[in-house]
Amino acid sequence: MRKKIVAGNWKMNLNRTESIQLVSEISKEIKDIKIGNNRIIVAPVSVNLAAVVENQGNDKKIEYASQNMHFAEKGAYTGEVSAGILKGINVNITLLGHSERREYFKEDDVLLKQKVDAAIANEIEIIFCFGEKLEDRESENHFKIVESQIKNALFHLKESDWSKIVLAYEPVWAIGTGKTATPEQAQEMHAFIRNLVKENYHNNVAENVSILYGGSVKPANAQEIFGKPDVDGGLIGGAALKADMFAEIIRAMK
């Protein structure tokens, strides 16, 4: 049975002290929430990952992810971080393909496929992000775009590799804009995505993969969006930087 997940992408925000502080505030806020099989993940800036992991102590309610990862094991890739380096600090999850990486760092499907393969080879779980731009939705190409993003980077994987994949549908026009896809738009796309996985693999792969929605999720809209049958939680940007808001969104994950 697939898990519900709320993941926070902190982007290029918070220094070391602030990161540790926010984790401790979130821990306090969620102390009484029963997580059960659900998962809470946060993705701090990479240089602060080791500090938050080391500070975690026995509280394992929160898991940590990198915001990005390079495909090479090591070498002349100035400024990058490899799977092995992440594993060395006990980080076993990474975001890949966030729209800001695609847009500002020109990451394309070919590169993302290499990163996906490197993560899988190193047993790093992937939160794979994708989504259409506004012009794609307006020209009604959104299904086609999403299909190609997923196919090009993921559909060469073996069925067993899918236990390491979480999908995150993030329409670019909804990220950081305050505009959210309606719960119906999210459900429509998530059902389409699940069906794609089913057609390319099997029903059980499709039923077991968590598909998160991302794009201006806030406490006020989380419950309605997460209430849709194919929405298995969210990837949260802005609202993940405030412990009380993030905790409310976590509470919306039933």
**Active site amino acids:** 98, 170
d(CA 67, CA 97): 9
Q: Is 215 a residue that touches ligand PEP (CB under 6 A)?
A: yes
- Choosing from 175, 197, 211, 222, the residue that interacts with ligand PEP (CB under 6 A) is 175
Identify the helix (H) or strand (E) that includes residue 23: helix 16-29
- Choosing from 30, 237, 250, 253, the residue that interacts with ligand PEP (CB under 6 A) is 237
Q: Is 236 a residue that touches ligand PEP (CB under 6 A)?
A: yes
d(CA 32, CA 214): 25
Q: Is 9 a residue that touches ligand PEP (CB under 6 A)?
A: yes
Six token digits for residue 177: 């804009």
d(CA 71, CA 81): 9
Q: How many other C-beta atoms can be found within 10 angstroms of the C-beta atom of residue 105? A: 10
Of 84 and 176, CB closest to ligand PEP? 176
Angle, CA 156 vertex, CA 41 and CA 114 arms, to 5°: 65
Q: Is 131 a residue that touches ligand PEP (CB under 6 A)?
A: no
Six token digits for residue 165: 């994949």
Q: Is 171 a residue that touches ligand PEP (CB under 6 A)?
A: no
- Choosing from 188, 201, 238, 248, the residue that interacts with ligand PEP (CB under 6 A) is 238
Q: Is 183 a residue that touches ligand PEP (CB under 6 A)?
A: no
Of 193 and 217, CB closest to ligand PEP? 217
Q: Is 216 a residue that touches ligand PEP (CB under 6 A)?
A: yes
Of 170 and 230, CB closest to ligand PEP? 170
d(CA 115, CA 121): 10
Quote the least distance from Cβ 174 to ligand PEP, whole Å.
6
Per-residue buried b or exposed e for 149-182, using 16+ beta carbons within 10 Å of the residue's own CB: bbebbbeebeeebbebbbbbbbbbbbbeeeebbe
Q: Is 97 a residue that touches ligand PEP (CB under 6 A)?
A: no
Q: What is the number of the residue whose Cβ is closest to ligand PEP?
A: 237
Q: Is 219 a residue that touches ligand PEP (CB under 6 A)?
A: no
- Choosing from 151, 176, 203, 220, the residue that interacts with ligand PEP (CB under 6 A) is 176
3-state secondary structure of 241: helix
Angle, CA 38 vertex, CA 9 and CA 162 arms, to 5°: 75
Of 44 and 214, CB closest to ligand PEP? 214
Six token digits for residue 163: 């236990």
Quote the least distance from Cβ 9 to ligand PEP, whole Å.
5
- Choosing from 119, 235, 245, 250, the residue that interacts with ligand PEP (CB under 6 A) is 235
Beta sheet of 233-236, edge-to-edge order: 62-64, 39-43, 5-9, 233-236, 211-214, 165-169, 125-130, 93-96
DSSP state letter for 153: H
Of 49 and 206, CB closest to ligand PEP? 49
Site residues (vs ligand PEP, CB under 6 A):
9, 170, 175-176, 214-217, 235-239
